[in-house]
Chains A and B, each alone.
Chain A
């Protein structure tokens, strides 16, 4: 292929992924969140805009686009402004290695990097930099507290996630997400690795700062946490980043444990979306089921429960793979 075709393909792929994530994750995700919340709390949720409230998020976005954006006088303007770009960009970078389905010509993925899983771990942890920048740049006490809590939390929960990723890489013998899905042709890894799956789910909830790990933006103590000072579209971009990251984590869980795009009869992309939304629903369900942790409980849970458990699980798996199965 000539080089400009490659470049055009990459540009087109990027645009498709960005708009796809903005629609599937942010637009529809926010609506789903509100509907599910309403359903769990015996309310009806948004109903007025569009048929059955379907266009609510579109209306919200148009509203936010018309809002003035305010940079507080005391804020560090450069850090304040660049954090807004960094958070959604870092979240969307995850999608480079997520396989959405398969076609006659090969798997539907932006680029099947040979270190896919490691790449995912690296980009998803970039978000904390953006959050710290937002918290520090705002020069607001609530924002700073939110940013610092976020750093402590993400730093703690990245290790269990890393250990789980290594366990799966050990089973699959590869870091490429496509190979990992291929290896699950006969048996999903959730069957052989149920503990890994639970650790991943708990740590992923913490990584994306959702209840019960939402100390970063605990609205009853910190207003909106690190994005308290952001108005209009900048606020919306943080929301986009957050939902994109939540969907990316769910998509990675689907890829690692639930057989990715595999499934009978229906097209592969549909299967992927079904599994993805099922996991996202679990995230939302958890949100309205558990109360928020205290910060010391949160760190204890990671360092004294998840990390030892993940290490034991890794050693056990390594024993089976390297000693028993040989």
Chain B
């Protein structure tokens, strides 16, 4: 079990090295020249107006809140799914109650208009 994650850790470390490899090649091959306008932010060829780091209406805010609820729900369903076959009918009705509460939540959000992009 722990060995599995050792493999994954090696994958991450070696992988990060391999992804960074092209940068070593760039450092050797690529030309360097600079003049002031080259480092400007791209904005379709005109001088950039202000910064992108400004007040911004993050419209998907409500979606991400509902997402958190559903994602946590899904985490609880994974272990249930693995053992479901051996649990039988009574476990099915219990999980139905669990899902019903969540569907109720979705229906509430829907009715409230939280799922509208306005």
A and B physically associate: yes
* A interface residues (Cβ-Cβ under 8 A, vs B): 6-7, 10-11, 13-15, 17-18, 65-75, 85, 88-89, 92-93, 96, 110-111, 113-115, 118, 136, 138-144, 148, 151-152, 155-156, 158-159, 162-163, 166-167, 169-170, 173-175, 223, 228-229, 232-233, 236-237, 295-296, 299-300, 303-304, 307-308, 311, 314-315, 318-319, 321-323, 325-326
Q: Report how far A304 CA is from B116 CA in the complex, Å.
A: 10
- Pairwise interchain contact B11-A299, C-beta atoms closer than 8 A: no
- Listed by A's residue number, 19 A-B pairs whose Cβ atoms lie within 8 Å are A7-B10, A10-B11, A11-B10, A17-B11, A85-B20, A93-B11, A111-B4, A113-B4, A138-B52, A139-B51, A143-B52, A144-B52, A155-B67, A169-B78, A237-B19, A237-B22, A303-B110, A319-B92, A322-B88
- Among B60-118, those with CB < 8 Å from A are 60, 63-64, 66-67, 70-71, 74, 77-78, 81-85, 87-89, 91-92, 95-96, 99, 103, 106, 110, 115-117
Tell me the minimal C-beta distance from B85 to chain A in angstroms. Answer: 5
* B interface residues (Cβ-Cβ under 8 A, vs A): 1, 3-4, 6-8, 10-12, 14-16, 18-20, 22-23, 25-26, 29-33, 38-44, 48, 51-53, 56, 58-60, 63-64, 66-67, 70-71, 74, 77-78, 81-85, 87-89, 91-92, 95-96, 99, 103, 106, 110, 115-117
Residues of B with C-beta under 8 A to A69:
26, 30
- Pairwise interchain contact A166-B74, C-beta atoms closer than 8 A: yes
For A324, the closest partner residue in chain B by CB is B89
- Pairwise interchain contact A10-B7, C-beta atoms closer than 8 A: yes
Contact A111 to B7, CB < 8 A, known contacts A140-B52, A151-B60, A166-B81: yes
Residues of A with C-beta under 8 A to B6:
6, 10
Tell me the minimal C-beta distance from A260 to chain B in angstroms. Answer: 19
- Pairwise interchain contact A156-B63, C-beta atoms closer than 8 A: yes
- Pairwise interchain contact B22-A236, C-beta atoms closer than 8 A: yes
Tell me which of A65, A228, A326 contacts B25 (CB under 8 A).
Answer: A65
- Pairwise interchain contact B63-A70, C-beta atoms closer than 8 A: no
- Pairwise interchain contact A89-B16, C-beta atoms closer than 8 A: yes
- Pairwise interchain contact B18-A15, C-beta atoms closer than 8 A: yes
Tell me which of A140, A159, A314, A321 contacts B67 (CB under 8 A).
Answer: A159
Tell me which of B43, B77, B85 contacts A141 (CB under 8 A).
Answer: B43
Interface of B, secondary structure class, is helix
Residues of B with C-beta under 8 A to A75:
41
Residues of A with C-beta under 8 A to B53:
136, 139
Q: Report how far A159 CA is from B48 CA in the complex, Å.
A: 38
Residues of B with C-beta under 8 A to A74:
41, 48, 51
Q: Report how far A16 CA is from B97 CA in the complex, Å.
A: 47
Q: Report how far A304 CA is from B103 CA in the complex, Å.
A: 12
Q: Report how far A311 CA is from B99 CA in the complex, Å.
A: 8
Tell me the minimal C-beta distance from B28 to chain A in angstroms. Answer: 9
- Pairwise interchain contact A315-B10, C-beta atoms closer than 8 A: no
- Pairwise interchain contact B117-A67, C-beta atoms closer than 8 A: no
Q: Report how far A213 CA is from B11 CA in the complex, Å.
A: 31
Tell me the minimal C-beta distance from B106 to chain A in angstroms. Answer: 7
Q: Report how far A142 CA is from B29 CA in the complex, Å.
A: 30
Residues of B with C-beta under 8 A to A10:
6-7, 10-11, 14
Tell me which of A148, A232, A321 contacts B30 (CB under 8 A).
Answer: A232
